[in-house]
């Protein structure tokens, strides 16, 4: 990777700052990624390695959008109807001044024609056509009106979706150049997980996120809370994968060795984000391995939220979070100003119920949002989305809900 990212070691940074750093890291990473050509049917979820300009006009020829008669609308009625019809598979041929031709929906217009009179509005008497006055372009899908030749439609670094194959196919593009997907190694830390006393809830969830973002995820097992073992396992996985994604051990406790290991193996870009739940995330460059490490806190719901909100832009290039407007069913207070709070909510008939509130299906808090307990409560994963806020929210206040479907694509 080339370029530089400034960092503040273990200083607490804002969520927006963390997202900006992840996007910068992504740009640096893509500069050195290998590329490949893939067919359109294999392009969804892949990241373009080069911009795409339209090689042709779309449509290549103007064509009719109604059954009727084609003619030059700058001329005047009546028009002499020529003794032929134009169908989608035809060459429309030439059209003389003052004449009209029968035409079917989807058929190419003769070069001289610029409008179509609907069949039901047309009157033909003794081979002469009359009807209402039309403007040029009426019922015509005009050449180049969809896409003009040379127009740039896709940027390098853009992640393609299934719908993008529609436009690419219409441009007569059969293959695209994309970056190779990232290889991501998942490592769970924690003696209680390694010894089988606690189930590893985070790794399957993180694997699903990584795959939904178009990359390859491999579960690489677990490691106990022993400093040398944590460091050596991250070292091994950084040699095998583009990204090492760890869970647990990201705080500042006696047995939290992950961030110390990352600091020894590379450059920690940041550690801890002003986000609740999910604060103790760490991200590091490991230049000796040409790899990136992302250390996720171990509480399951917090792990999901911080990965989806902070790490997602690195994997997808997209930090946009489309929202749904809703009315907050209950007031929610916050304990500490200066943080972004991710409040899980369920949605019903335009009303957002904070999941975790004592009046919801998961009773965790009464008035003040409790991110610590919610971060561990797997029932909170049943939320339909989250509300991001830095302030207390009043009952009946309009809020912007980020659906979970947005975070997982």
For residue range 297-342, what is the model confidence (pLDDT) as tens digits? 989 999 999 999 999 999 998 888 999 999 999 999 999 999 999 9
264-273: b or e for each residue (b if 16 or more CB lie within 10 Å)? ebbebbbbbb
Q: Which residue has the higher pLDDT, 29 or 48?
A: 48
Mark whether 156 and 269 lie in a shared domain: no
Whether 186 maps to a domain, the answer reads yes
Mark whether 343 and 245 lie in a shared domain: no
Mark whether 214 and 306 lie in a shared domain: yes
Mark whether 41 and 175 lie in a shared domain: yes
For residue range 338-357, what is the model confidence (pLDDT) as tens digits? 999 999 999 999 999 999 99
Whether 166 maps to a domain, the answer reads yes
Average pLDDT over residues 51-79: 95
Check the CA dihedral 350-356-361-366 and report its sign: negative
Question: What's the pLDDT at 261?
Answer: 92
Mark whether 105 and 171 lie in a shared domain: no
For residue range 131-186, what is the model confidence (pLDDT) as tens digits? 999 999 999 999 999 899 999 999 999 999 999 999 999 999 999 999 999 999 99
Mark whether 157 and 47 lie in a shared domain: yes
Whether 2 maps to a domain, the answer reads no
Mark whether 291 and 225 lie in a shared domain: yes
Mark whether 185 and 298 lie in a shared domain: yes
For residue range 189-232, what is the model confidence (pLDDT) as tens digits? 988 888 989 999 999 999 999 999 999 999 999 999 888 899 99
Residue 403 structural domain: 324-408
Question: What's the pLDDT at 409?
Answer: 86
Whether 7 maps to a domain, the answer reads no
Indicate if the pLDDT at residue 1 is higher than 70.
no
Whether 69 maps to a domain, the answer reads yes
- Residues with Cβ within 8 Å of residue 313, at least 6 apart in sequence: 19, 22, 23, 26, 319
**CATH number of the domain where residue 87 is located:** 2.170.190.11
Query: What tokens were used for 295?
Result: 């250390």
Mark whether 102 and 221 lie in a shared domain: no
Mark whether 303 and 190 lie in a shared domain: yes
For residue range 18-44, what is the model confidence (pLDDT) as tens digits? 999 999 999 988 888 899 999 999 999
The backbone torsions φ and ψ at residue 86, rounded to the nearest 5 degrees and listed phi first, read -115, 130
Domain count, the chain: 4
Neighbour tally for 290: CB within 10 Å:
13
Determine which of 252-261, 302-311, 321-330, 358-367 has the lowest per-residue pLDDT on average: 252-261
Mark whether 197 and 299 lie in a shared domain: yes
Whether 3 maps to a domain, the answer reads no
**CATH number of the domain where residue 51 is located:** 3.90.105.10
pLDDT band at 253 (very low <50, low <70, confident <90, very high): low
**CATH number of the domain where residue 208 is located:** 3.40.980.10
Last residue of a domain, one of 88, 117, 141: 141
Whether 270 maps to a domain, the answer reads yes
Q: Which residues are registered as beta bridge partners of 243?
A: 184, 292
Q: Are 244 and 219 in contact (CB under 8 A)?
A: no
Mark whether 253 and 291 lie in a shared domain: yes
Average pLDDT over residues 289-303: 93
Whether 385 maps to a domain, the answer reads yes
**CATH number of the domain where residue 369 is located:** 2.40.340.10
Query: What tokens were used for 207?
Result: 């694997």
């Amino acid at each position: 990777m080339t370029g530089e990212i400034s960092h503040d070691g273990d200083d607490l940074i804002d969520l927006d700052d963390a997202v900006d750093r992840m996007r910068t890291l992504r740009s640096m990473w893509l500069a050195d990624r290998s590329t490949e050509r893939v067919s359109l049917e294999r392009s969804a979820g892949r990241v373009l390695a080069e911009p795409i300009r339209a090689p042709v006009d779309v449509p290549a020829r103007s064509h009719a959008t109604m059954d009727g008669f084609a003619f030059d609308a700058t001329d005047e009625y009546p028009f002499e109807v020529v003794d032929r019809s134009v169908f989608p598979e035809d060459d429309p041929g030439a059209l003389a001044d003052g004449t009209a031709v029968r035409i079917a929906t989807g058929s190419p217009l003769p070069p001289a024609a610029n409008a179509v009179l609907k069949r039901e509005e047309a009157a033909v008497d003794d081979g002469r056509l009359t009807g209402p006055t039309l403007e040029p372009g009426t019922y015509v899908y005009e050449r180049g009106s969809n896409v003009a030749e040379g127009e740039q439609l896709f940027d390098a670094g853009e992640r393609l979706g299934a719908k993008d194959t529609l436009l690419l196919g219409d441009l007569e593009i059969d293959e695209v150049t994309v970056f190779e997907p990232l290889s991501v190694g998942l490592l769970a830390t924690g003696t209680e997980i390694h010894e089988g006393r606690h189930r590893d809830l985070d790794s399957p969830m993180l694997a699903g996120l990584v795959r939904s973002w178009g990359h390859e995820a491999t579960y690489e097992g677990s490691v106990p809370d022993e400093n040398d073992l944590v460091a050596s396992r991250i070292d091994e996985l950084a040699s095998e994968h583009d990204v090492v994604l760890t869970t647990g051990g990201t705080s500042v406790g006696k047995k939290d060795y992950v961030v110390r290991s990352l600091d020894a193996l590379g450059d920690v870009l940041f550690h801890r984000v002003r986000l609740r739940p999910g604060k103790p995330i760490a991200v590091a460059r490991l230049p000796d391995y040409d790899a990136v490490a992302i250390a996720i806190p171990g509480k399951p719901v917090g792990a999901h939220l911080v990965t989806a909100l902070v790490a997602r832009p690195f994997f997808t290039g997209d930090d946009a979070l489309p929202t749904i407007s809703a009315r907050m069913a209950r007031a929610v207070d916050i304990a500490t100003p200066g943080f972004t709070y991710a409040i899980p909510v369920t949605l019903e008939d335009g009303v957002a119920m904070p999941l975790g509130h004592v009046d919801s299906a998961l009773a965790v808090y009464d008035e003040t949002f409790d991110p610590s307990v919610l971060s561990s409560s797997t029932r909170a994963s049943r939320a339909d989305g989250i509300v991001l806020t830095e302030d207390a929210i009043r009952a009946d206040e309009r809020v912007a809900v980020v659906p979970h479907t947005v975070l997982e694509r």
